[in-house]
Amino acid sequence: MESTVFDLMKVSPAVQANLRNMGIRKPMPVQQRAIPALLNGRDVLARAQTGTGKTLAYLVPLAQKVDPARNYVQGLVLTPTRELAQQVHEVLKEVAAGLGLKTLAVTGGRDFETQKRKLQGNAQILIGTPGRLLAHIANSGIDLSHVSYFVLDEADRMLDMGFIHDIRRILPLLPEKRQTLFFSATMPDDIVKLANTMLRKPAHVTVTPPASVVETIRQSVLFAEKAEKRTLLASLLRERPESSVLVFSRTKHGADRIARILTKAGIEGRAIHGDKSQGARERAMNDFRSGACRV
């Protein structure tokens, strides 16, 4: 049967049904190793990159462990960016469909008062960014003293973006007796030290991406004068009209300029950066996913 492996991992029938509806028939390695440990109550320290299936590795146990009859925050997931928080929240809604759980994404770029009203509706799982969560702790009366399941996702990016102080302000607000999950693509000394302060006898999970960069990406360098770049970029994009493309710019202004140049050349492009409103960023990402724009 399709669910045999999930049965052995003690995934509930309701969550298994939701996974099948999502098109997931078998677990990935990080899920096979992390889910049983988490369902058994262990802390987990995982070294896992994007694309390895780590989000489901912590959302599947979370959906099973939160009690829909208890109207207070029981699960908390922190991510470094708004987009990742929204993405995780969308996946959570699919994993927990029909379970009666109240979930909420708490990020910047959204109306604060609207989020505050929703928080008063007894959300049981919060997915958020550290800064906005702290703002709600200060102004919306969030009580984290009943959190039994805490996830720090992409911890190395958190440190790179300067969130370490925010995380250290949040940790004392959580109960000492809790289950903690720590996911990071890399394990530099600062990350190891932080993990050691948060985790108790964790299960260690290390996975590598399905394929290495060398096997999946062809790398090349083209030398061009500044005045030639626009024409060269458009020419390269026309050579492969079927492909979706990411173009990185040194500045926000440069990203806007590149998007305008490409669109004028008949190649639909969207710019996304920190000066864009949350709505504009989401529209750009949605257009990219749907194929309305390819760059």
Distance CA 51, CA 208 (A): 9
Q: What are phi and psi of 42, to 5 degrees?
A: -80, 150
The reported pLDDT for the residue numbered 213 is 55
Mean pLDDT over 159-182 rounds to 92
**pLDDT level of residue 188 (50, 70, 90 thresholds):** confident
Whether pTM > 0.85 for this model: the answer is no
Question: What are the angstrom distances between the C-alpha of 104 and each of 90, 93, 171, 232?
Answer: 10, 10, 20, 44
The winner for highest mean pLDDT among 6-10, 30-34, 287-291 is 30-34
Over the stretch 72-95, which tens digit does the pLDDT of each residue have? 999 999 999 988 999 999 999 999
Q: Which residues contact 117 (CB under 8 A, 6 or more apart)?
A: none
The reported pLDDT for the residue numbered 230 is 84
**pLDDT level of residue 274 (50, 70, 90 thresholds):** confident
The reported pLDDT for the residue numbered 291 is 85
Over the stretch 207-221, which tens digit does the pLDDT of each residue have? 866 555 556 677 888
* CB burial of residue 269 (10 Å; 0-12, 13-18, 19+): buried
Over the stretch 141-151, which tens digit does the pLDDT of each residue have? 889 999 999 99
